[in-house]
Structure 1
Amino acid sequence: MSTLAGKQTRALTVCVTIAVLIAVLAILGMTVGAVTLSIGQVLDGIGGGKNAFIVMQYRAPRVAVSILAGASFGLAGVFLQGALRNPLASPDVVGITKCAGLGAFLAGMMAPPAWAIWAIPAGVVSGAILGAALLLLIGRTFGGGIAALALVGVALGMLAQALIQYVMVIFPTRADQSMVWLAGSVYGSSMTDVLVLGLWLFACLPLVLFAAARLDASGFGDETLVSLGMPPARLRGGLIVVSVLLCAGAVASVGSMGFLGLLAPHAARLLVGPRARHLVPSSALMGALALSAADLAGRLVALPNEIPAGIVAAVIGGPYLIFLLIKETGRHE
């Protein structure tokens, strides 16, 4: 009992600490821009002072979208890793993010400019759902095992990336505006973006709670799940669907962010352990912290210019993925 209480206390401490760090980064993020503000001026602006317009209309939405989208990627990653029982799985690694990006890219290219505000989110959701459907259907053709799903996902991601590059070569003049979005950026976020993403996550909340309650069971083998009365395909398919919905909402808001869905669950698992009741909230917080930090770093490194947050995340996540691959290879030798 004391051990259980200790784990709960540790998880609570970790979550509170991460939340405090997110708040600190949020305040710092609102000091950076064309007009540099002090922390006091930011706090005054939040309270309705003379800098309220800059803080609340431009910088606060950017910070809020970073937090919400980062949390979405973190949750999407932890559910996908549970579904595939693979610590290297994440929405970008198995192709879901790239399929969503392909859908958005094609929608932005083909739709009239006036329709872009609706066409791109619709393209994201369509691409993510189609990618997940292909992942499940093709994976089932090869037996529906964990290895099959992972390999099919990687292949789909490579195909989606190749199609994006092909379209960019065919229509180079129309592809310029999509480059920053494909790299992943929270630049230009508005209160509308915050509201839409917040409502999407609120709508997904019942599914998140439902998936979190079954995440621990996904670690069992298929025979054990059958003996417990849980169809393995339905359980893993449900986790993938929730991951896809969360990923689609985040990609529609900030573009294709690489490796956040991989980094956040791993960091959370190291801090609080594998139990879903601790892992799920801490993964969401770690995702929010990671994207907030990536956005702030991208804004500070190349002042007065900006480096998209997705590029910063990829610079960190790429070497980390290599480290995990080496670690997993050594474990199975």
Structure 2
Amino acid sequence: MVSGVVLRAGSWSVRVSPRAAGLSGVLVLLLVVVSGLALAVGEVRLTVGEVVGALTGEGGGADFIVNTLRLPRLLLALLVGAALAVSGGILQSLTGNALGSPDIIGLTNGAATGALLAIIVLHGSMTQIAVGALVGGLATALLVYLLAFGRGLGGFRLVVIGIGVSAILLAVNSYLITRATLQEALAAQTWLIGSLNNRGWPQVGSVAVALAVLLPLAFWYGRRLGMLELGDDTARALGLPVGGTRLVLLVLSVGLAAVGTAATGPIWFVALAAPQLSRRLLRSAGAGLLPAALTGAVLLAVSDFAVQRIFSPALLPVGVATGTIGGLYLSWLLVSESRKSRA
């Protein structure tokens, strides 16, 4: 029996789970708290009144600190965290595998290859690097899709092929760095860590525009993930065009991952961990893309805030924190999946 409340508006209807709504409310509250701390706490501490004044255009001396230094970084963390989490949630649902995420199946390394080519071969600007990362991620997804297309995208097939492609791309990336000059290698390595440092309103604007298109589509098509998880035969019996739906969802997942990576560099394991954490909090096997998006935003914002405050005044990239936490999570996940397979 499916629980929830059905909300209707004309010919449109959506089923809302009370638990999902409650979790989303808690996550929104956490976002408000974390955002307040990120804007107020730093080398220069601000009061709540000063932060609110700066946001409303009456901040005086706090205006530069809030609106130029802290707010763009915070917004980019929230947007990229949400994008990566939804991307991972879609892939994990499509593959029926907890390891199905852009980090694991090569999309992140593909974006890194595109960015490295822009840095080392084209000597490109930040905009060209972002475009290179976007193209690299999309090209990698196309390659993985073509290799996996013969027998479908479910199960371990897409994950295994993606891991193989990811390993090849990692070797290519290492080769590109060895052929670079010292300055180019430093720039490439800085980008590869994944960082919110030196990002501003241009990056926020480009990511926000992309997500304004991709996220509503992902949430709309995400309603069909539940039917796909029942199996292809059942989904077809319910009138769902399985092949077309899978392709659209895969394209949306790739686009979200590529946009996020293009803006900040590879920020590992948010796409892997956020959807799983959301599912565990929901106690549901469903995708739950909205709670996953909020979880991803909270994870990345908290990680960036922690890195800034714990290691202050050093400006460590947020990728250091997510990589460390994610590595521990991946180890636990592999052990857990291994025990399940033996049971």
TM-score, length-scaled by structure 2 = 0.89
**In the alignment, which residue of structure 2 is the partner of 1:28?**
37
Find the aligned partners of 2:20 and 2:168 in 1 and give their Cα distance: 39
**In the alignment, which residue of structure 2 is the partner of 1:90?**
101
Does residue 215 (structure 1) correspond to residue 196 (structure 2)? The answer is no
Q: Could you tell me which amino acid in structure 2 is paired with residue 57 of structure 1?
A: T
Does residue 15 (structure 1) correspond to residue 4 (structure 2)? The answer is no
Find the aligned partners of 2:45 and 2:122 in 1 and give their Cα distance: 37
Do the aligned residues in 2 keep the contact of 1:185 with 1:254 (CA within 8 Å)?
yes
Superposed, 1:157-196 pairs within 5 Å as: 157-173=166-182, 174-196=184-206
Once the two structures are superposed, what CA deviation does each residue of 1:216-253 show, in whole Å capped at 9, x if it has no partner?
A: 12212233334444454433222211100001111111
My pick for the range that moved more, 323-332 or 258-267, is 323-332
Deviation at 1:20, TM superposition (A): 1.2
Do the aligned residues in 2 keep the contact of 1:28 with 1:39 (CA within 8 Å)?
no
Once the two structures are superposed, what CA deviation does each residue of 1:35-74 show, in whole Å capped at 9, x if it has no partner?
A: 3434443333223212112210111000000000100011
Deviation at 1:34, TM superposition (A): 4.5
Does residue 79 (structure 1) correspond to residue 90 (structure 2)? The answer is yes
**In the alignment, which residue of structure 1 is the partner of 2:9?**
none
Find the aligned partners of 1:136 and 1:130 in 2 and give their Cα distance: 10
Do the aligned residues in 1 keep the contact of 2:197 with 2:315 (CA within 8 Å)?
no
Q: Could you tell me which amino acid in structure 1 is paired with residue 278 of structure 2?
A: A
**In the alignment, which residue of structure 1 is the partner of 2:164?**
155
Does residue 56 (structure 1) correspond to residue 67 (structure 2)? The answer is yes
Aligned-partner SS, 1:30 = helix
Do the aligned residues in 2 keep the contact of 1:105 with 1:164 (CA within 8 Å)?
yes
Aligned-partner SS, 2:223 = helix
Superposed, 1:240-255 pairs within 5 Å as: 240-255=250-265
2:121 aligned to 110, 117, 122, which one? 110
**In the alignment, which residue of structure 2 is the partner of 1:4?**
4
1:318 aligned to 324, 327, 330, which one? 327
Deviation at 1:178, TM superposition (A): 2.4
Do the aligned residues in 1 keep the contact of 2:81 with 2:270 (CA within 8 Å)?
yes
Find the aligned partners of 1:142 and 1:213 in 2 and give their Cα distance: 24
Find the aligned partners of 1:2 and 1:190 in 2 and give their Cα distance: 44
Does residue 300 (structure 1) correspond to residue 299 (structure 2)? The answer is no
Find the aligned partners of 2:174 and 2:59 in 1 and give their Cα distance: 47
Find the aligned partners of 1:152 and 1:242 in 2 and give their Cα distance: 19
Deviation at 1:264, TM superposition (A): 0.8
Deviation at 1:101, TM superposition (A): 1.5
Deviation at 1:106, TM superposition (A): 1.1
2:129 aligned to 120, 125, 137, which one? 120
Unpaired runs of 5+ in structure 2?
6-15
- 1 or 2 for the larger relative contact order (CA 8 Å, sep ≥6)? 1
Count of residues paired in the alignment: 329
Find the aligned partners of 1:106 and 1:183 in 2 and give their Cα distance: 16
Does residue 68 (structure 1) correspond to residue 109 (structure 2)? The answer is no
Deviation at 1:191, TM superposition (A): 1.5
Find the aligned partners of 2:153 and 2:80 in 1 and give their Cα distance: 30
Do the aligned residues in 2 keep the contact of 1:58 with 1:189 (CA within 8 Å)?
no
My pick for the range that moved more, 161-170 or 7-16, is 7-16
Do the aligned residues in 1 keep the contact of 2:94 with 2:154 (CA within 8 Å)?
no
Q: Compared with structure 1, are the counterparts of its residues 245 and 143 closer, same or farther at alpha carbon in structure 2 (3 Å cutoff)?
A: closer
Find the aligned partners of 2:335 and 2:117 in 1 and give their Cα distance: 36
Deviation at 1:133, TM superposition (A): 0.7
Do the aligned residues in 1 keep the contact of 2:99 with 2:159 (CA within 8 Å)?
no
Deviation at 1:144, TM superposition (A): 4.8
RMSD: 2.1
**In the alignment, which residue of structure 2 is the partner of 1:131?**
140
Aligned-partner SS, 1:92 = coil
Does residue 101 (structure 1) correspond to residue 132 (structure 2)? The answer is no
Deviation at 1:187, TM superposition (A): 1.1
Find the aligned partners of 2:76 and 2:152 in 1 and give their Cα distance: 39
Aligned-partner SS, 1:305 = coil
Superposed, 1:223-242 pairs within 5 Å as: 223-242=233-252
Do the aligned residues in 1 keep the contact of 2:144 with 2:165 (CA within 8 Å)?
yes
Find the aligned partners of 2:36 and 2:52 in 1 and give their Cα distance: 8
Find the aligned partners of 1:84 and 1:172 in 2 and give their Cα distance: 40
Aligned-partner SS, 2:17 = helix
